[in-house]
Structure 1
Amino acid sequence: MIDVQTWTEHTIETSFMTNSAFQMWLVIAGRVMLLVNGTAIQLDAGMVLMVDCGQLTKVERAEGSFHLKVVSVDPFALFSPSLAAQYVTPYVGMIGYHVLHPTDAGEKAILDTIDRAVRRLKKESIFTLLDVTLQLAVVWRYWIQRPSVTRRHGQERMQRMISYIHDHDTMKLSLEDIAAVGGLSRAECCRYFTKWGDTSPLAYVQDVRMQRAARLLCETNLSVAEVANQLGFTSVSHFVQTFKKVHIRTPLAYRKQKT
């Protein structure tokens, strides 16, 4: 029901994410630059990004060291079925996103509630889940009072193309393959990626593949050659060069730093 991820400069990924749950992005320290549905957002320490399910979020970069927590919540699990039918079902996917600022007096209380929920999750107690559920129900109540937004034109097309790339990240995809999934021409496909993510389709494919490569290097004992083979590279030297362009270090140096 509740999942908390901690990101730092060593763990963050820059690929698109289409969240299937309601999320809260808490910046504990530092600064993070994001794209949410193609809109640039800067999050400084103390700020929180609230994101509805089904939105396209992409981390552009972080300035210096940073500490970010992402809390994912299934709002249906916060209420009984009858209450969920009234207070969850009509609002899922309708609101989009909202940024909470600690300097805004009206938002300070909800920021404090989110902070208490995250801190409570660290404590082991028979009442932890109950306490956190009650606090997050208050957050959800605040959330559904936000104005609804209309999904941006083309969001579904972009989500289909992003999902296709992630589902086929071990394959060598062409621009034609990606454009066909979105029902677009090659030129239109390129314009979509520029508009939504400030990148090109094939550059994004490379980024996703190198993110997969980084996970394989850190989470398995596969050799560099084996990782390259899994990702469809016929040349290890080409894989190393591509990896270095994205991660600024060789695969072996990357593995050594992360372990």
Structure 2
Amino acid sequence: MNVEENMIDVQSWTGRTMEIGFTMTAQFQIWLVTQGEVEVRVNGTRSRLRAGMALLLDRGQITKVERTDDSFHMTMVQVDPFDLMAAPLADCYVTPFIETIGHHVLHPTEPGHKAVLETLHKVVRSLQKDSAFALLDATLQLAVVWRYWIQRPPVTRLHGQERMQRMISYIHDHDTMKLSLEDIAAVGGLSRAECCRYFTKWGDTSPLAYVQVVRMQRAARLLRDTDIPVAEVANRLAFTSVSHFVQTFKKVHNRTPLAFRKLNT
């Protein structure tokens, strides 16, 4: 579901729809796990989120979903914090903190976390109501969450974070192409060996292995959202052999393209 004008974006994710791999947050983002569990790395640090827990992310955080349960369900709320209050207040309570709060895991058994989690659930319930004040209520509640968050100790951006962001963005922007290790390393201003070390540190993977994951995620979207033949999907992703494409797809998604399409359409 999306709120009018996209001021507050709310999406539901399940084990089937949550893509495995890196993403980068462009806005204030909240992951509220309601069922099952998910294993995720945030800036290279692994966390396991279970039902009832939440993850708060500020802008520019590098996340990597590694595994989800089949029963996994999560609500993701995304909003620009500058939209939560008037400009004079934003100058005092958003601008100084916008890139220093990092990420934070909320657990219902931790002191002080329960009240914030309850407020997050109120945000989702408010946006689900057919009410003229739904957006106002959700905005006020998110401002309370933001107030809690900016009182936490500031976080220093990690060394190399911008390099990693550039390389991940490049891979996603060229996911129909066969990228080389040299291509990726050059975007990050690194040697090939340094590039490999970055991906190992931040995601326990190699650059080229991640390229394959991203390309197969593109393939999955094409299979799920269109009715084009498997051979055409392979062709769009620059595979010269359909059998090679099928083998690669099965390695990532644990089923053939046709089986995947049947399960997801």
TM-score scaled by structure 1?
A: 0.98
Residue of structure 1 in register with 2:257 after alignment: 251
Residue of structure 1 in register with 2:146 after alignment: 140
Residue of structure 1 in register with 2:237 after alignment: 231
Please say if 1:242 is aligned against 2:244: no
Please say if 1:153 is aligned against 2:178: no
In structure 2, C-alpha distance between the alignment counterparts of 1:15 and 1:202, rounded to whole Å: 13
Confirm or deny: 8 A CA contact 2:16 2:70 kept in the other structure: no
SS in 2 for 1:65: coil
Residue of structure 2 in register with 1:54 after alignment: 60
Residue of structure 1 in register with 2:208 after alignment: 202
| 1:80 CA drift (Å) | 1.0
In structure 2, C-alpha distance between the alignment counterparts of 1:200 and 1:105, rounded to whole Å: 39
Please say if 1:44 is aligned against 2:50: yes
Residue by residue over 1:182-224, the C-alpha shift from the partner in whole angstroms, topping out at 9 and shown as x without a partner, is: 1111111111100100000000000000001101111112211
| 1:64 CA drift (Å) | 4.4
In structure 1, C-alpha distance between the alignment counterparts of 2:229 and 2:89, rounded to whole Å: 52
Partner AA of 2:234 in structure 1: A
In structure 2, C-alpha distance between the alignment counterparts of 1:2 and 1:144, rounded to whole Å: 19
Unaligned runs of 5+ in 2: 1-6
> What is the aligned counterpart of 2:170 among 142, 164, 167?
164
| 1:228 CA drift (Å) | 1.1
| 1:105 CA drift (Å) | 3.2
Residue of structure 2 in register with 1:121 after alignment: 127
Partner AA of 1:225 in structure 2: A
| 1:63 CA drift (Å) | 3.6
Please say if 1:32 is aligned against 2:44: no
Residue of structure 2 in register with 1:12 after alignment: 18
Confirm or deny: 8 A CA contact 2:28 2:58 kept in the other structure: yes
Q: Where in structure 1 do 4 or more consecutive aligned residues deviate above 2 Å?
A: none
Residue by residue over 1:152-207, the C-alpha shift from the partner in whole angstroms, topping out at 9 and shown as x without a partner, is: 11111111100000011111000000011111111111111001000000000000
Unaligned runs of 5+ in 1: none
Confirm or deny: 8 A CA contact 2:41 2:47 kept in the other structure: yes
Residue of structure 2 in register with 1:86 after alignment: 92
Residue of structure 2 in register with 1:221 after alignment: 227
In structure 1, C-alpha distance between the alignment counterparts of 2:180 and 2:261, rounded to whole Å: 29
Alignment of 1:168-183 (within 5 A): 168-183=174-189
SS in 1 for 2:139: helix
In structure 2, C-alpha distance between the alignment counterparts of 1:132 and 1:64, rounded to whole Å: 30
Partner AA of 2:98 in structure 1: V
| 1:73 CA drift (Å) | 1.1
Equivalent residue pairs, number = 259
In structure 1, C-alpha distance between the alignment counterparts of 2:97 and 2:190, rounded to whole Å: 30
Alignment of 1:184-195 (within 5 A): 184-195=190-201
Q: Identity rate of aligned residues, in percent? A: 71
In structure 1, C-alpha distance between the alignment counterparts of 2:54 and 2:141, rounded to whole Å: 16
TM-score scaled by structure 2?
A: 0.96
